[in-house]
Amino acid sequence: MLSYVSGTLRRLRARPATVEDRNIYWLLLMTGIVGVATGGIITFLPVFLARLGASGVTISLLTSLPALITIFLALPAGVIATRWRRIVAVSALWFYVLRFCYLAVALVALLQPALVPALVVIIWALSAIPSTIANSVWYDVVGEAISPRRRPMVNGVRWALTGLVSAISVAGFGQLLQALPFPLNYQIVFLISFLSGMANIWCYSRIEVPDREPAPVRESPLAQLTRPAEILQPLVVNRGFRDLSMVTFVMRIGLNLPVGLWSLFWVHNMQASDAWIGWRATIENVAVMLGYYCWGRVASRRHYTVVFAVVTVSLGVNVLVAAHATASTRWILFFCAFLGGFSSPGIDVSLFEWLLDVMPPDERPRYVAVNTVLANVVIFLAPMIGGALAQQVGIPPVLLLESAFLFTCAALTYRLRRAAKRKALAVAGRSTAS
């Protein structure tokens, strides 16, 4: 697989014969570079707060507060984005602003430890503003940059690159954190993440897509935001989008209930060192790399709902096993890291194709905005609920609850797939009869 990834990069670099080839090259490169930040600040920021003594609720706010901001910003951001002519150039500026939040976190770590958790949470919450605005056109950029025929394979390869770079980065960062004094060690990790993030966006800015005709200005984004009927219309008129939203709602509840608890689970329940956390994350990212490669190939041959159902069952089993680990049996979390890392790319690969399939091409920003709002309602509420539950019953029961939601999600997806096949057979039967 590594030879395939490196061979693809060499071929594209040597002779990017078409605009699509050049776009694929830059997409692969930017996604590989972002693996440094994934293995750095994204992985270790919650651990940093746990080392400072932050509570589970505080760490959960790293996820919940950005989600809250995104809920209110996603719809107007989608409307604003429809007025951009050069979607790559404008969104790149917002992505650069997002990367400066990494630098701000590194600087805040210099302050008195008692102040750091609250300030980090505030910075991370504010980072949702540029992130939401920039990401409102991400599906448009990828949809225009790569043809549908090549997209599943390219997505699998580029996400595999992220896993490879993340695996290398997180192992190195884990050793660096163990070797240097606190908090200097974390500051260095965050600074490296900032620099790699800037390089990542420079690569993104090189992607070539056609300029688009801005949508006519009828009213302000705020006016559209205040009309619930307009917000909910995609759910009412598009059954495919409604089914997708129902399934992902259940999945996101499960995945986000313990999202602020994992670092506490490793540090307190498992009594793990930074080096151990780094090696666990390395195994996970190697598995992510393999998973993106494998699921990208599977998604080219099997329906996205089949992939989605299989990986949600696998993730449910993974969390079920992890919930029973103890400090003396924490080695089992290395197995869980591999299983979870290998399975989670299937979620990204299948949902990417599922969402593109149910969205009308001329309304993508609007549908992405609605999907983002629905996702972030869950991402805002679920971590805080999970943190509050953990304070009452402990972390393992919350993990068991996550597993139950994932199994339910798989069952719903299976029912949707069966219903779609029955409908297709009925249509084929009527066509034959006529």
DSSP-assigned letter for residue 180: S
Q: What is the tens place of the pLDDT at every residue in 49-94?
A: 888 887 777 887 887 788 788 877 777 777 777 777 787 888 888 8
213 domain residue, yes or no? no
Task: Give the model's pLDDT for residue 424.
Answer: 57
Q: Rounded to an integer, what distance in angstroms lies between the CA atom of residue 118 and that of residue 67?
A: 17
H helices of 55-183, where?
56-81, 87-108, 116-126, 128-135, 138-145, 151-179
220 domain residue, yes or no? no
- How many domains does one find in the chain? 1
Exposure pattern of 209-219 as b/e (b: 16+ CB <10 Å)?
Answer: beeeeeeeeee
Q: What angle do CA 154, 75, 348 make, to 5 degrees?
A: 25
221 domain residue, yes or no? no
332 domain residue, yes or no? yes
Query: Exposed (0-12), middle (13-18) or buried (19+): which is 175, by Cβ within 10 Å?
Result: middle
323 domain residue, yes or no? yes
Residues of the chain with pLDDT under 70: 1-17, 152, 156, 213-232, 234-237, 296, 299-300, 362, 365, 419-434
Torsions phi, psi for 94 (to 5 deg): -70, -35
Q: Nearest Cα to 297, choosing from 150, 138, 165? A: 150
384, 388, 393, 398: CA torsion to nearest 10 = -10
Q: Rounded to an integer, what distance in angstroms lies between the CA atom of residue 91 and that of residue 81?
A: 9
Q: Are 47 and 274 in contact (CB under 8 A)?
A: yes
Task: Give the model's pLDDT for residue 273.
Answer: 80
108 domain residue, yes or no? yes
Task: Give the model's pLDDT for residue 226.
Answer: 47
Q: Rounded to an integer, what distance in angstroms lies between the CA atom of residue 128 and that of residue 232?
A: 23
Structure tokens at 129: 């503003």
Omega of the bond leading into 183 within 30 degrees of 0 (cis): yes
Domain CATH for 86: 1.20.1250.20
Q: How many Cα atoms sit within 13 Å of 247 on the Cβ side?
A: 26
Domain of residue 76, residue span: 2-208+238-429
Task: Give the model's pLDDT for residue 150.
Answer: 76
Count of beta carbons in the 10 Å neighbourhood of residue 252: 20
Structure tokens at 278: 């780094």
Q: Rounded to an integer, what distance in angstroms lies between the CA atom of residue 407 and that of residue 428?
A: 32
353 domain residue, yes or no? yes
187 domain residue, yes or no? yes
